[in-house]
Every structure is written in C-alpha cells, then in structure tokens.
C-alpha cells in the first residue's frame, strides 16, 4: 500500500510518461521517448518477456524505421530472412511483384520485443513487469494511476499516459473510449506444437464449413496450428490458454484432433471482431497499437501499424514535454494515424468477408483470385496497410510531402551515408541536396532540434531541400532550394519557434 506521503499522493509528478504495455508498440514508444531524454516508465502485466508470439513477420517499411534508430543492425545474421509471399484471406500476395518497399521478412514478434526492450533500458527507461493498472484519473496537469505490482499496490502520477496494452486495453476502458466492433465476429486460436503423427505436419491452409484452418511448419519439428471460427464468441480474454481449447477448435473446424507428442510450446486465443477506437486521445491519455485498432490475424499489419503509431507519437509527445512543440502538434497524432487505422481495418474486414464460409460468395473469391494474378493488384493491397501519405498543410503541394522520405544513399564530405542514418538521433533533418546552391542558413535557429545534412543523393529525389520529420516523413520539399520563407515556415510548423 502506498504511503500517504508518497509524491503521487501529494499530486507531485513522479514520471513524465507512463507507457502501459510492454509489447512492440509500447517498447518502441519508450525507446523514442528515452532517445529524446523523456523520463519514461513501462508497466507490463506479464511477469516474463514473451518467448513465443502471434506475429511472425516484419515489413520493409518497419525495418527501415528500426534502421533509422540503429536497431536493424543489431539483428544477428541468420535470425531474419525474406518472405516471398504473405497471406490475404484465402490467397497469397506475391511480394516479388510488389517492389522492394513492400518486401516482408520473417522475424518473430517476441524477438522484436527483446530488441526494443534492450534498447529501452539502455536509454534509461524503467520496465516494470508483473504490474497492472487498476484505476486512472486525470486532471488538467497530469494523470494519476493506481497500480498493482509484484510487491503490492502503489500510486503513480505522470504528465501523460499511453495505453499500448492490447485489444483488451485497461487504459482504454478506464478512459471511456469506445471500441466498437466492425464486420463479422470470429474466434481464433494458435498453438505451436510437436506432433506424434504425420498428420498436420505439412503446410496446409484452407476454408472449411466450420471456419479456417492452417498448419505452418515454423522450425524443426514444430508446427503452428491456427483456427478461425466465425459467428462464435471467444470464451474468455485474449492471451494464453489451455492447449485443450486449441485442439478442440481444430477438431471443430477440420473434424480431426491433433495428437501431441507433449505439451505445446505455446497456445493462445484471439479475436472476436475488427475494432477501431473512437478516438486516439482523451486529454492526457493516448492509445496506440492494438489498444487503438485490432485486426484479423492475416499478414502482419497489426505489429507494423503499432510500430508506426509509436514512432509518430513519440517525437510529438517528447516535443511537448521538452517545451518546443508548436500548436496542434500533439493533435496531429490522431489526425494522421486514425485514418491509417480506418484503412487497415477496412483491409481486415475485406479479408474476413472473403473467407466467411458461405457458398454465395464463391464467385467473388474466384474473381478475386483472377485479379491477384496482376502485380499492380498485389502492390495496391500491400500498400493499403503500409504506404500512407499523411495530410499536410495545403500550401505544401510537392509530391514528396506527407510521404516517407525515399531511402536513398547520400554522399557527404565525410563519406557515404543514408537517409535512415541521418535520423538516428531522433531529431528532425534538413537535407540540403542542392550541391551548395540552396540557402539553408535559416535552419540555424532550430539547431537544438534539427540537424542540417549537406549531401549528394546517389539517386534523384526531385527536390533540392527536404525537411524530414523524426519519424522519417517529409514535412517540406523545395524543388529549387530557393524558397527560404517556405523553409522557415515549415520549420516553425513542425519544430516550433526558433531559439532566441
């Protein structure tokens, strides 16, 4: 029990930001905040780090985000390899036909968590495992949390709280943000097992009258079994379950019960609807990742969308706490990311409609299969969950603005580098690609927040001066490098007033 004299009891701020949830979204956000010098605590209900996970893939754009923080290079050789295709409903999208920006890599989510947790601790983030939020109350200055931990209950007070605590988010519930169901209800299970018969050991994926079933060999001797049953409510919360629940679901769907060599390595349930939070912010509380949007498990949009939520919010929240955020910057988190949530939810609902076991849509499935023979269709479906152009100020009409900055090689006076490398400090960047003809001296007023890099791009990018936000998105581009007023306005818009 907290002492009445504890700082939190007296309304004194104990943390700048509390991140609730230690999955990939929460840990990525903690890394972003720690990089910006923001005192951050992560509360994770699980007592131990995960050793298995639903997510098995990471998208090229997410890998580029990790590279922009020096994290991709920490992945040991042999732990990640290209994935030639990714599922969409009953079909497979051909990644080779969709371009390098849409490639996918096999890299389990639990390894991503491990990578991010190690980096967060290096940056001074405190991670408390086995701690759950019990109550939440906010006022105009901060947020009070009541937490149950491994040694009892205690209180915290933070300037901001971010709920990254998954589909059954306690933060979202306590904040009163709606999370309405969309589309077809479903209930799913996943288990990683070793079997004592040949049945279910080979790759299999298909639709049955009672639902969907997949068997996916994932490592020597281990097979991932996955079921999806439609119009069936899940019997309890998402998370780890007794293996008998998974075996029973496999039997209901396929008519056969797997024979296990021994207890499964891991078994979980998921589902029950595609959902999108009514809003991503309520006062001083934000939502990100699965707490804001939950999707049908097919492909890897959930993990990758959550990482992008974190990187979008992190620098904006840090800017506000560090005192230089321009008006409206924090609000832009929702205006930029919720439309992304809407789009990935549409993507998920379309898949559910295609796999729903109903004969009357068989013609639609066959027609869709014909469309997927076209590379342009593969690319479009992939980019629906990965390639987003954020809304930007109306005067910024350059085609690069609002897009991820092209990941081109740069040649500087010190040698070769990359756009990703220029972002390693988590700061904004002004890229002077003019060969010395542009006047970027005005950026000196933002030297505490923005780096200026003069370089020659190996491939043309269509602009002489580019302002890159800390999340890798282009906030301004000048084709000729002559618009000093435009550069100044863009720096004010994204990075606040210049220093005196």
Q: Position of tokens 């301004």?
A: 476
Name the phi and psi angles at 474, rounded to 5. -80, 125
Answer yes or no: is pLDDT of 8 > 60.
Answer: no
Give SS3 for 263: coil
What is the reported pTM? 0.90
**Average pLDDT of the chain to the nearest whole number:** 89
Closest among 495, 478, 479 to 487, alpha carbons compared? 478
What would the mean pLDDT of 80-93 be, rounded to a whole number?
78
7-179+277-383 and 409-495 have identical folds = no
Q: Is the pLDDT of residue 52 over 90?
A: no
Q: Find which of 2-11, 19-28, 288-297 is predicted with most confidence, using mean pLDDT.
A: 19-28
- HSE of 217, CA atoms in CB hemisphere, 13 A: 10
**Rounded Cα distance, 75 and 62, in Å:** 14
Structure token digits, residue 480: 């000729």
> How confident is the model at residue 182, as a pLDDT?
84
Reply yes or no on whether the pLDDT at 230 is more than 70.
yes
**CATH topology for the 409-495 domain:** Glutaredoxin (3.40.30)
User: What is the three-class DSSP state of 228?
Assistant: strand
Residue 28 carries which DSSP code?
H
State whether CATH 3.30.70.2450 applies to domain 183-273: yes
According to the model, what pLDDT value does residue 395 have? Answer: 60
Calpha distance 265→65 (Å, rounded):
31
Task: Give the CB-side neighbour count of residue 344, counting CA atoms within 13 A.
Answer: 30
* DSSP H or E stretch at residue 63: helix 60-67
Distance in angstroms (rounded) separating the CA atoms of residues 361 and 37: 54
How does DSSP classify residue 424?
T
Q: Are strands 181-193 and 40-44 parallel, antiparallel or unpaired?
A: unpaired
**Torsion sign across C-alpha atoms 411, 417, 423, 427:** negative
pLDDT in tens, 356-366: 877 888 899 99
Task: Give the pLDDT confidence score for residue 11 in this predicted structure.
Answer: 52
Q: Tokens at residue 10, please?
A: 């007296």
Angle at 435 between CA 434 and CA 439, to 5 degrees: 55
Model pLDDT, residue 373: 87
Residue 306 to residue 168: CA distance in whole angstroms: 15
Q: What local confidence, expressed as pLDDT, does residue 361 receive?
A: 86
Residue reference for tokens 């979202």: 172
Q: What is the mean pLDDT of residues 85-107?
A: 74
The predicted pLDDT at position 281 comes to 98
Query: In this predicted structure, which of 31-45, 67-81, 272-286 has the lowest mean pLDDT?
Result: 67-81
Measured distance CA(463)–CA(435) in Å, rounded: 12
Integer Rg of the chain from CA: 24
Which of 22-36, 126-140, 367-381, 400-414 shows the lowest per-residue confidence on average (mean pLDDT)?
A: 367-381
Q: Report pLDDT for 6.
A: 56
Q: Where are the domains of the chain?
A: 7-179+277-383, 183-273, 409-495
Is residue 158 within 8 A of residue 14, CB to CB? The reply is: yes
| Contact yes or no for 488/430 (Cβ under 8 A) | no
User: Mind listing the pLDDT tens digit for each residue in 329-357?
Assistant: 999 999 999 999 999 899 888 888 888 87
Element (H, E) at 117: helix 109-122
Question: Where is average pLDDT lowest: 261-265, 286-290, 315-319, 363-367?
Answer: 261-265
Residues 6+ apart with CB under 8 A from 396: 402, 475, 476, 477, 490
Residues 306, 272, 354, 85, CA torsion sign = positive
Could you tell me which CATH class the domain 7-179+277-383 is placed in? alpha beta
Full strand arrangement of the beta sheet holding 415-418? 415-418, 409-412, 456-457
- Over range 478-496, report the average pLDDT: 95
- Which of 446, 450, 421, 441 lies closest to 481 in space, CA to CA? 441
Per-residue pLDDT, averaged over 137-143, amounts to 97
Lowest mean pLDDT of 43-57, 90-104, 219-233, 313-327, name the range: 90-104
| Confidence check: pLDDT of 4 > 80 | no
């Amino acid at each position: 029990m907290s002492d009445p004299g504890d700082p939190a009891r007296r309304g004194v701020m104990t943390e700048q930001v509390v991140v609730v949830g230690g999955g990939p979204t929460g840990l990525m956000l903690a890394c972003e905040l720690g990089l910006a010098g923001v005192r951050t605590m992560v509360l994770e209900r699980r007592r131990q780090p995960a050793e298995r996970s639903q997510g098995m893939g990471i998208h090229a754009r997410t890998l580029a985000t990790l590279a922009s923080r020096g994290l991709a290079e920490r992945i040991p050789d042999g732990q990640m390899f290209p994935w030639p295709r990714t599922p969409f409903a009953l079909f497979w999208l051909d990644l080779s036909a969709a371009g390098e920006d849409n490639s996918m890599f096999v890299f389990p989510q639990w390894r991503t968590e491990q990578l991010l947790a190690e980096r967060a601790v290096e940056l001074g983030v405190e991670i408390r495992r086995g701690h759950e939020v019990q109550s939440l109350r906010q006022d105009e200055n901060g947020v009070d949390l009541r937490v149950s931990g491994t040694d009892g209950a205690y209180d915290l007070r933070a300037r901001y709280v971010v709920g990254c605590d998954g589909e059954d988010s306690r933060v979202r519930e306590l904040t009163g943000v709606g999370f309405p169901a969309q589309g077809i209800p479903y209930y799913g299970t996943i288990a990683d097992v070793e079997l004592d018969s040949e049945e279910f050991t080979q790759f299999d994926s298909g639709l049955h009258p009672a639902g969907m079933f997949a068997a996916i060999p994932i490592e020597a001797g281990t097979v991932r079994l996955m079921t999806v049953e439609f119009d069936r409510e899940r019997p309890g919360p998402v998370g780890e379950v007794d293996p008998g629940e998974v075996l029973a679901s496999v039997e209901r769907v396929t008519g056969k019960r797997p024979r296990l060599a021994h207890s499964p390595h891991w078994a979980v349930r998921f589902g029950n609807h595609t959902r999108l939070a009514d809003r991503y912010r309520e006062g001083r509380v934000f939502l990100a990742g699965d707490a804001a949007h939950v999707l049908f498990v097919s492909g890897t949009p959930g993990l990758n969308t959550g990482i992008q939520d974190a990187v979008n919010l992190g620098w904006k929240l840090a800017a506000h706490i560090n005192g230089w955020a321009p008006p409206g910057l924090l609000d832009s988190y929702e205006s930029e990311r919720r439309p992304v949530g809407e789009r990935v939810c549409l993507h998920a609902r379309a898949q559910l409609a295609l796999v729903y076991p109903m004969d009357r849509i068989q013609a639609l499935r066959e027609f869709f299969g014909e469309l997927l023979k076209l590379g342009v269709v593969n690319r479009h479906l992939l980019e629906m969950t990965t390639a987003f152009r954020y809304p930007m100020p109306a005067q910024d009409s350059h085609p690069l603005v609002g897009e991820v900055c092209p990941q081109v090689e740069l040649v500087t006076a010190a040698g070769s580098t990359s756009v990703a490398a220029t972002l390693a400090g988590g700061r904004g960047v002004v890229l002077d690609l003019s060969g010395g003809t542009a006047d970027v001296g005005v950026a000196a007023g933002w030297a505490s927040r923005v780096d200026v890099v003069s370089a020659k791009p190996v491939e043309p990018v269509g602009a002489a001066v580019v302002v890159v936000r800390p999340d890798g998105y282009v906030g301004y581009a000048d084709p000729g490098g002559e618009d000093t007023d435009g550069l100044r306005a863009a720096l004010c818009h994204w990075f606040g007033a210049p220093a005196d």
